[in-house]
Chains A and B, each alone.
Chain A
Amino acid sequence: MIEVRNLTKRYGDTTAVDGLSFTVQPGLVTGFLGPNGAGKSTTMRMIVGLDRPTEGEALVGGRRYQDLSRPLRHVGVLLDPAAVHHGRKALDHLRWLAASNGIGEQRAVELLEQVGLGGVRHKRIRTLSLGMKQRLGVAAALLGDPQVLMFDEPVNGLDPEGVRWIRDLMRGLAREGRTVFVSSHLMSEMALTADHVVIVARGQLVKETPMEALTRNGSLEDAYLELTSGRGL
């Protein structure tokens, strides 16, 4: 479970996240929606301790992420698939991540096979396509077999087969009782994937609701645009 309590982030006079509170429950895929600049990525970065909140806190399984001694065993994170050393081989990327959290190397080999990158494990990351880098990022997130998973725009760069693959993966992870928190701009994709949605605009919570309740009278896109109209940047 992810708990966000009164989370606020200010950069000088600019407030990126403004008193945000919500809970991401296990066993569901929770979509995190909002216009560009709504504070989605900043919120995710604060959840994993990359950015310090000005106020409030974010807890994963009741603890701050930075207090977890082997965090990848608790939380799998894909925030930016380009945030890798592009001169390193795909398998070596997973090997160092595994080593940092006391995870065996065999798990890295198995995961590369699982995400369809077994054939390119000895290729340098710079030679991989954007979709392959996304899959590598997903493999890194799954490395510690975590109960909580967080994906920021995971279908970017994926072909239709890849989009379906990641949708099925996230649905499967939620069915196993894991907490899956995913941000996306693709409403059609979110409508197919998410059970629950958290909508933000200008750093504030606009709506936290089951998907079913939001789409009862129309499409997710219509509901989203109605809720966020005039609240974007």
Chain B
Amino acid sequence: MKNALAAEWLKLRTVRAPFGLVSAIGLMVACGALLSWLMVQDYDTSPAAEQMKFASADASVVINPVVQFCVAALGALVATSDPRLTALTAVPDRKRLLAAKTVLVTTAAAVIGAAALALSIGAGWLITGDRPPPIAPWDGPGDVLPWFGAAVLSIVVTGLIGLGLGLALRSTAVAIVVVGVLLWGLPAITPMLPDPWNTDASAVMVPYLVYEVAGIVENAPLTPLAAVTCLLIYVVVTLGTGTVTLLRRDA
């Protein structure tokens, strides 16, 4: 397992695509900080009555979907970028290969997600300074931690979804398209369904689950525990399908 994991890590850092994805995340964090700064400039020059109508200058909410997508693409790349012939010749024990890929994606997603969110939340804090709500996004660390934890969990989940889809579909491009459908396509469609299907279906979409896990949605259809369970079902279904494909099909 140690050798397989070392090989997967070496494979990941000796091609360009992962650096492109991390750079895209870095750029989004920077853009988010710029957005927060512009909001604060606008807030400072607005009358007091207008200031009360401002949204919070928290860019982490905006960048989270982008981080989710980039990490899911990373998961798909880990599954598909190297031809199976060579990968399975070097590590023919498919369960060991799968375990190494899963550990790598989980770790990379957690580290990248935590770093991106911490930078974004930290930048928001520095930029808003001692200004009051609503422009100040959080009251203190105790206020932000549920959101931070939920967002990092959602990023790890999307990384594993990408890995599972990559293993199941055996194509980076198709896996990334399906990730796009899951993260952006379906959530755009579900609100258009007739009532009450629109509420029920939207409640189990990945982008909404993160808010339900954090417990920051008023009258949320799902409890945080149910939302976590729902996220885990996404992982079980996609990674489970990928596992069956890897273990049972010829290379």
Contacts and interface: CB of A to CB of B under 8 A. Distances in A.
Contacts, number: 77
Nearest to B7: A100
B89 A48 contact: yes
B89 A84 contact: no
A102 B130 CA distance: 55
B14 A89 contact: yes
A101 B3 contact: yes
A92 B14 contact: yes
A70 to B, nearest CB: 7
Contact of A100 (B4, B15, B84, B94): B4
Interface in B69-114: 81-86, 88-94
A50 B90 contact: no
Interface in A169-204: none
Contacts of B81: 85
B89 A95 contact: no
Contacts of A50: 84-85, 88-89, 250-251
B10 A96 contact: yes
A79 B4 CA distance: 21
Given A45-B251, A85-B82, A65 B92 contact: yes
A71 B15 contact: no
Nearest to A84: B86
B131 interface: no
A80 B14 contact: no
B12 to A, nearest CB: 9
A83 interface: yes
Interface residues of A, number: 31
A97 B90 contact: yes
A87 B19 CA distance: 13
A114 interface: no
A40 to B, nearest CB: 15
A77 interface: yes
A71 B92 contact: yes
A101 B10 CA distance: 13
B3 A96 contact: no
A14 to B, nearest CB: 14
Interface of A: 45, 48-52, 65-66, 68-72, 77, 79-80, 83-85, 87-89, 92, 95-97, 99-102, 140
8 contacts: A49-B92, A69-B93, A83-B85, A85-B83, A87-B15, A89-B14, A97-B86, A100-B90
Interface of B: 3-4, 6-7, 10-11, 14-17, 81-86, 88-94, 250-251
Closest 8 CB pairs of A and B: A100-B7, A92-B14, A83-B83, A50-B251, A66-B92, A51-B250, A83-B85, A96-B10
Given A80-B83, A89-B14, A100-B6, 8 more contacts: A45-B85, A68-B92, A70-B3, A84-B82, A99-B3, A99-B7, A101-B3, A140-B86
